[in-house]
Structure formats: C-alpha cells, structure tokens
Amino acid sequence: MNSIRSSLDQFMKNKDWRRRYEELREEVLSYPKIQTFQQEHPEVTEEAMENNMMKLFEYKRERQNCDTCPGLENCPNMMQGYQPELYSDTGQLTVRYHPCRLKQQADEQKRQQSLIQSMHIPKEILEASFDDVEQDHASRLSASNACLKFAFEANPGEDATGLYLHGKFGVGKTYMIGAIANELVARDISSMIVYAPDFFREMKQALSDGTVQEKMDEVKNAEVLMLDDIGAETTSAWIRDDVLGVILQYRLMQKLPTVYTSNYDYDELENHLAYSQKGGIEELKAKRIMERVKHLTVPVFVDGKNRREM
C-alpha cells in the first residue's frame, strides 16, 4: 500500500489538478482586495503568500460573498454575518473575522429590544413612537409632550419621579408609555411595561407555585416600571398591601421611577383601592398607597377621541 506521502506526490503531479490550482492561484492573487493588501504590507513576502494560499482562497471566497451581500438572513459565509479581513502579524499572514455592518446593526437592535420587557402587552405597543401619536386634541398634545419630556429626563437611581396618565378608555395612554419605552432605549435605560390586571392575577396564581417573590423582584427592580391600566383589577387587601405596596415602597427607596396609566384620577383610584373583594372598606390603607403614588408622579390628563371605536 502506498504511503500517504507518495499518494500526495502522485496527486500533485496530476496535470489537470495542477492546471486548476494555477488558475485558482491567479484568481486569488489578482483579486483587487488581496492586491491592495500586498501593496499596503510589503513586509509580507511572496513566500508567505504562497505558503498561505489556502487562507487567501478562503478569504477571497468569503469576501466576495460580502461584495455581493444577499442580506444577513441569506449570508452564505461559514460564519453568518461575519466578514473576513487580512492581517499582517510580524510579516505573517492571517485571516480574522469580525461582524459585518448588517450583523452589528442586528445585534444592536436585539440589544435595544432587550431593554424593553413586557408582561401581557400587545406587540404594537412595544413598537410605539411619538411620531405616530395623533396630535388632534390639545390634551393629547400636552400629554405627549409631558411623556417625551419624561423620556428625555428620567434618571433611575437618582430621581423616582414618574407620571400618572389618566383619562377615559381608548385615548392613547398605553400607546404613549410604549413610546416612552422606545425613547428610553436611545438612552440605554431599560423599562418594563406591565398590564396591571393580568399581573396581579398572575401574582395570585403564584401563591400556589411559590414564585411570588421571584415575580415581584423582576417587577420592582425595573429601571423604569410602567403599570398599565391600574385600577382595572379586582381589588384585594393582599394585592394592594403585600404586592403593590411592597413594590412601590422598594422603588421609592431605590429612587426608581414608575409610570401609571389609569381610567381613574387620583381620588377615584384611592376609592377603588379602599374596597376589597370581601366587601370591606379600608380607607387608611388605600390612602397610604396613594400617598406614595401622588408623591412620586406628575398627573397627566389625556383626552380626545376613543381610538378603539374608530
């Protein structure tokens, strides 16, 4: 049996293979980006180029894919979204890969999206923008400006002041907090939007599986917390005092701002919180909760057409 070495020698003597190799070699060395590299790095010798012909072939193949980029999802490179570059290291030739522009943009978009968390919030709210807030009513214009100002000035860890957006159904309160979340992304501030009725319902269910503390920690530690439609939930003393009260107290101590939306104004929400499922009235406990809310929010009234009926 012939040795591997002799088999390779025989293979190298094959004229067809040799001719094809020379053609590929010429294609590689005539590739404009490789020629530019040679001109810029005279320390890389012809011998080094010859000894690394397979690396150069790999570089040319992958770089040509980038030259005719079909888009990130259809990238044919060995490492999708990565672009090859030639480097000279003390006269030695090497090929390195780095994320291409499209890959960097996609990674940045994912990073930004990770800054917005949500619980039970529709997708269109997570894509909200102040550019799309209709300015067809003086109240909506004023509210939009207040929300934008908050997004520009919010300072988690230093200032716990948030907003309390209140008004009738369908006037765009939830959409505005989605727009706030996206503006905060530009400042690298994370936020969490929580649909309050579903969250409080989930907390009751968490009693049975022992995840109450875990769920509460996730919400109370958000840099900017947005409680959507607070007051729409069925009130219970436990939810009011041991969930909402604990969350708000923690955020007060940590100076973390909270934004609310509600169909109730301050007084109406206080009345709502005073009633429990069991029919009792606990005005003092409701007042304690509302003192925290009032002290750390700016009330913003939102009015206008009901978007849900259009």
pTM score over 0.75: no
Alpha helices in 115-254 (DSSP H): 123-126, 138-153, 173-185, 196-209, 212-220, 237-238, 245-254
Q: Which residues pair with 99 in a beta bridge?
A: 82
Beta strands in 22-112 (DSSP E): 82-89, 92-99
Confidence category of residue 258, pLDDT binned at 50, 70, 90: very high
Q: Which residue has the higher pLDDT, 166 or 115?
A: 166
pLDDT of residue 257: 97
The region, left, alpha or beta by phi > 0 then psi within -120 to 50, assigned to residue 31 is: beta
Q: Provide Rg for the chain, Cα atoms.
A: 31
In sign, the C-alpha dihedral spanning 47, 52, 54, 60 is: negative
Looking at the DSSP bridge assignments, the partners of residue 281 are: 275
Q: Does domain 115-309 have CATH number 3.40.50.300?
A: yes
190, 221 in Cβ contact below 8 A? no
The conformation of residue 131, written as its DSSP 8-state character, comes to G
Residue 49's pLDDT is what? 87
Question: Which pLDDT score, from 0 to 100, does residue 310 have?
Answer: 55
Average pLDDT, the chain: 86
Q: Which tokens is 36 given?
A: 């530019």
Instruction: Return the pLDDT at 148.
Output: 95
66-112 residue pLDDT tens = 989 999 889 999 899 999 999 888 778 888 999 988 888 777 767 75
Q: What is the greatest pairwise CA distance in the chain? A: 97
pLDDT bin (cut points 50, 70, 90) of residue 6 is low
Q: What is the DSSP letter of 234?
A: P
From 124, 126, 96, 100, select the one nearest 113 (Cα to Cα): 126
Give pairs for 276-280: CB < 8 Å, separation 24+. 276/235, 276/236, 276/237, 276/240, 277/234, 277/235, 277/236, 278/237, 280/237
Other beta carbons less than 10 A from residue 299's beta carbon: 14
Q: Is 14 exposed, middle or buried (0-12, 13-18, 19+ CB in 10 A)?
A: exposed
The mean pLDDT of 35-50, rounded to a whole number, is 88
Decide: residue 200, CB within 10 A, 0-12 exposed, 13-18 middle, 19+ buried: buried
Nearest to 186, CA basis, from 81, 115, 83: 115
Among 9-18, 140-149, 167-176, the minimum mean pLDDT is found in 9-18
Please compute the mean of the pLDDT values over residues 117-131 and round it to a whole number: 80
> Which pLDDT score, from 0 to 100, does residue 13 have?
59
Distances in Å between the alpha carbon of 244 and those of 76, 196, 269?
51, 10, 13
Q: What is the pLDDT of residue 19?
A: 80
**Taking 90 as the threshold, does the pLDDT of residue 151 lie above it?**
yes
Calculate mean pLDDT across residues 186-214: 88
Domain extents for the chain? 15-103, 115-309
Helix (H) or strand (E) holding 55: helix 53-67
Q: Which of 128-132, 276-280, 302-306 has the lowest mean pLDDT?
A: 276-280
Higher pLDDT, 221 or 17: 221
Three-class secondary structure of residue 268 per DSSP: helix
pLDDT at 304 over 90: no
Nearest to 293 by CA among 239, 263, 257: 257
User: Which phi and psi angles does 265 have, rounded to 5°?
Assistant: -85, -175
Locus of tokens 């010859």: 50
Rounded Cα distance, 18 and 149, in Å? 70
Q: Is the pLDDT of residue 1 over 50?
A: no
Partners of residue 95 on adjacent β-strands:
86
pLDDT-based confidence at residue 128 (cuts at 50, 70, 90)? confident
